[in-house]
Structure 1
Amino acid sequence: MYSWSSWHTVVPLVVGAVGIVVFGFYEKHVAVEPIVRLSIFKTCTAIISYLGTILHGMILWCVLYYMPLYFEGVKGYTPILSGLSCLPMTFTVAPAAGVVGIIIAVTGRYRHTIWVGWTFSTLGLGLLYLLDVHTPIALWVCVMIVGGTGLGILFPSMAFAIQGSAVDADVAYAIGMFSFFRAFGQTVGVAVGGVIFQNRMRIELQKYPKFAPLAAGYVQDATALVEIIKSMSDSVEKSNLKQAYADGLKPVWATCCGLAGIGLVLSSWTKAYSLDRGLVTEQAFQHRKLRAGRSRHEIAQLA
């Protein structure tokens, strides 16, 4: 890992930023059939919803990546038991998304569900900070249910907001970008979580004289460190390493909570658009035209 002031870090960031600007200019002024229709970003609701989608992807995958490591490294669970322990969060996402999707389809309103989703997410992710070596099962189950419910509510809510803010001709493109930005957020979330964990874990390990010389090596791989903890016999050193691991994850949970809080604040500018309209797409129009042409050709052959 390189520092923020290193050219190894600065050059890719600058080149990437310039590349995005050049790509946007090309898509708007040069491309005949643009890959990305910039018209989908014309409304404040669309921009806020896309930013929220990125934040949602970052939070979801950061939590799903590091939560099993908490159960294995801190609680000492097996991989299978760690997966089962994540069910209070993962199992509530789909039902919450399904119920909210039905509610929005019936009522045509999505703003309130977005606000509720971000509120639950912020609360649940903030409570993850309480996770420690001796956290009782009942506590982490309840905390994960709250967070999973909030993240599940946001899945359909933001999709409907993006759909409603787009004009008929751009709906398909808008939904496509919705999936892209969520995937983008997922990749960024795991990377950002890794950097935060490494920096904090190094600080925590330096508190213990026995682990201070090994800190640089231990923080390079969170998964490998779990195996090191498991291979140790029960001792004070193992307890200290578990505590350091739990403390190293706390800033990760706090960051996710902060990102959810940003999403909650941004969502206050989301506007209500009507969802009660027909689906009008270029693809459907071309398909009907092609079928009509085939029918005339078949009639000519029969004559």
Structure 2
Amino acid sequence: MTESNLSDVRITTRPESDSGSLSWNKGHCQNVDSTGQTQTSEPPEFVADRRLLGIIACQCLMTLVVALDATTLSVALPTISMTLNGTALEAYWTGTSFLLASTIVQPTVKSISHSFGRLMMIQFSLVVFIAGSLAAALAPSFTVLILGRTIQGIGAGGLVVLSEVLITDLVPLRERGIYYGYISATWAVGSVCGPLLGGALTEIVSVDEMKLGGAVAYGGWRLIFWFNIPIAMITLVVMPLLLRLKAPMAGASLKEKLVSVDWIGALLLTVSTTAILLAVTSGGVQFPWKTWHNLLLLLGGVCVFMAWVSWCILTPHPNPSINMRIFGNQTAAASYLGIYIQGINLYCLLYYLPLYYEACHSMTPLKSGIALLPEMLTVAPIAFGAGIRVSKIGKYRWCVHIGWMMTTIGLGIMCLLDQDSHPSTWVVINILPGVGFGLLFPGLEFAIQAAAGQGDVADAATMYNFIRALGQATGVAIGGAIFQNQFTKEFSFHLKDYSVVVESASQYTKDPVALIGMLATMAAPIRRQLEMTYAGSLKTVWAVNAGLAGMALLVSLFTKELSLNEALQSQQGLREPHGHCENDTRV
């Protein structure tokens, strides 16, 4: 059994066990006196005062701007393409650049915050996000717009990961469910309102913009980027007034702080994830999957990733970018795999379900966004309620098991959706995976943090977001490859008797998304067959996702019920006197 000392407070880390019992009494602080004897005392009950609630409110604002920015742009891309005379590929990279940048920077931002402080990195991320928003709002071309979106993504990635990590600094493990619930609910609200807000703002076009063809910096789709700037600036001003934390390296020089960051590990992880995600996101879009560009990127990324893992295990650096011991037990391994699969499931659903509504039910992009509400409005309250319940009873495994059962069943019965499905049918069907996702968010988060131990909980919180983001990027790519291949097969089967369509089959099957816009102009019999083609292709996507969720359900059986009754252990807690126990949980 290993021991870790922090400010003369000794907390003993326990091995994984089914009972979840600790070798030290629940919630006790163990103080080491001058003779080396350990004296145990009861810490005061955790109390969330107005200062902590103000910090959480700022975190919710940070989460809101990121969620809005990630979702508002999708419905505006056709308008932006017309205004800036862009291509479909440029429009694609406008969204993808944000996703890539926000994923790649997360572990590095966490590592730097260990040495330079959470507040400094939050302020840095907010400034970068605002700068990216300004660049995007003023963009005269797609090149500048993509650059602005990349800068926004860097800032957004920092805000997302620091929101997770900060709660581990301020709130004991068992009490975190409600606060993660606030953030999850905010993300859900932003994700639901994003497409609606984007559609509404896009329709506001100034007279000057109509005259100048989009060369001015206000009106229409540009308001999407202006909208988030005041919210980010409010957070930038208020957060330093509330978030007064203990300095992580008090008295250390700038050189000592720079040396304390694992720059080699950060570089290896950044290069590897960049190469892998570029290969995954550009495959089938910018390059065919089997071209040497893609294969070289993918192979090179995997090799560098293995080098990063080896570095983290073997490095003499005292603070590696990620401590590999957080993966060292079966609960952690099962949970991280589950987080990755959840990312795949979630983004496959969010990306390809609107395709079903638009192709099979002739919905506009805005209406298809509204049709997603049964899922999106289910996730947040379920996650919030489940987090509170876990905090109350101190057990999380039920969340994981029931969550995967509901997700597997929900994705499985989505295979029943076809071109004739009644709205009441797909509303009811879509609620099931929404409930599953809602249960999995707090369940998996508690599992990985309990398995890591509080000394490494910041690394666990970072990898929770990072691995889920990798899953999301992979989900879009996997779903696209499955859908494209199946669409070609279904197209040949359903439309083999229509020579006028068969002659242009290669063109239609190359870009099924663009074909949706042509459905209204086609004869009714052909349109009917194409609707069947889309529905049949998407059934394969749902089936594969149901299989992955079923695999995650089986793996989740290895998750153990570890204790959540761990005292708060943080080097960057709030600066405030805490009675007799220095790592007291009262804030």
Partner of 1:264: 553
* Contact persistence 2:399–2:442 (CA under 8 A): no
Q: Which residue of 2 aligns with 1:53?
A: 339
The percentage of counterpart residues that share the same residue type is 38
Could you tell me how far apart the structure 1 residues matched to 2:343 and 2:476 are? 10
1:227 is the counterpart of 2:512: no
> C-alpha displacement at 1:219, in angstroms?
3.1
CA–CA distance in structure 2, aligned partners of residues 53 and 283 of structure 1: 27
1:205 is aligned to 2:491: yes
Q: Which residue of 2 aligns with 1:250?
A: 539
State the alpha-carbon separation in 1 of the partners of residues 572 and 523 from structure 2: 64
Offset at 1:115?
0.5
Which residue number in structure 1 is paired with residue 198 of structure 2? none
Q: How far apart, in 1, do the equivalents of 2:522 and 2:417 lie? A: 23
| Counterpart residue number, 2:312 | 27
Query: Structure 1-normalised TM-score?
Result: 0.89
Measure the CA separation in 2 of the matches of 1:19 and 1:225: 39
Q: Out of 90, 97, 120, which is 2:406 matched to?
A: 120
Comparing 72-81 with 60-69, greater Cα deviation is found at: 72-81
Q: Greater CA deviation, 259-268 or 3-12?
A: 3-12
Which deviations, in whole Å up to 9, do the C-alpha atoms of 1:92-151 show, x marking residues without a partner? 011111111111010111111110000000000001101111011221111101111111
CA distance in 2, matches of 1:280, 1:122: 37
Contact 1:124 1:147 (C-alpha < 8 Å) held by counterparts: yes
1:182-197 to structure 2, matched below 5 A, reads 182-197=468-483
Letter in 1 for 2:527: K
- 1:43 corresponds in structure 2 to 329
Counterpart residue number, 1:214 = 504
In the alignment, which residue of structure 2 is the partner of 1:163?
Answer: 449
CA displacement at 1:28 relative to structure 2: 2.0
Higher alpha-carbon deviation: 74-83 or 89-98:
74-83
Distance 2:370 2:296 in 1: 42
**Contact 2:343–2:471, Cα closer than 8 Å, also in 1:** yes
- Higher RCO, 1 vs 2 (CA within 8 Å, ≥6 residues apart): 1
Amino acid of the structure 1 residue aligned with 2:513: T
Q: Residue 219 of structure 1: SS of its match in structure 2?
A: helix
Change in Cα spacing, 1:36 to 1:220, as seen in structure 2 (3 Å) is farther
**Pairs within 5 Å for 1:129-144:** 129-144=415-430
State the AA in 2 paired with 1:219. T
1:15 equivalenced with 2:304 (yes/no):
no
Do the aligned partners of residues 170 and 76 (structure 1) sit closer, same or farther apart at CA in structure 2, a change above 3 Å counting?
Answer: same
Superposition deviation, residue 4 in structure 1: 7.0
Check whether the contact 1:127–1:143 (CA below 8 A) recurs between aligned residues. Answer: yes
CA distance in 2, matches of 1:117, 1:87: 19
Structure-to-structure mapping, 1:89-100, within 5 angstroms:
89-100=375-386
Query: Cα deviation per residue 1:70-97 (whole Å; 9 max; x = unaligned)?
Result: 1011111122221111111111011111
Deviation at 1:7, TM superposition (A): 4.4
Instruction: Return the letter of the residue paired with 1:203.
Output: K
The Cα of 1:283 is off from its aligned counterpart by: 2.7
Distance in 1 separating the partners of 2:489 and 2:522: 24
User: Is the 1:89–1:144 contact (alpha carbons within 8 Å) kept by the matching residues of 2?
Assistant: yes
Q: 1:222, CA displacement in angstroms?
A: 3.7
Cα shift readout 1:23-56 (whole Å, capped 9, x = no counterpart): 1111222251211111111111111111100000
Q: Is residue 197–residue 248 contact of structure 1 (8 Å, CA) maintained in 2? A: yes
Q: 1:113 to 1:215 in 2, by over 3 A?
A: same
1:282 is paired with a residue whose SS is coil
Structure 1: where are the runs of 5+ without partners?
A: 290-303
SS in 2 for 1:269: coil
Counterpart residue type for residue 307 of structure 2: V
Change (3 A) 1:234 1:84: farther
The answer to whether 1:145 aligns with 2:431 is yes
Count residues with an aligned counterpart. Answer: 287
Give RMSD over aligned pairs: 2.0
Question: 1-side partners of 2:371 and 2:346: how far apart?
Answer: 16
Q: Distance in 2 between matches of 1:260 and 1:151?
A: 11
Conserved? CA contact 2:402–2:436, under 8 Å? yes
For residue 242 of structure 1, report the CA deviation from its aligned partner. Answer: 1.0
Matched, 1:111 2:397: yes
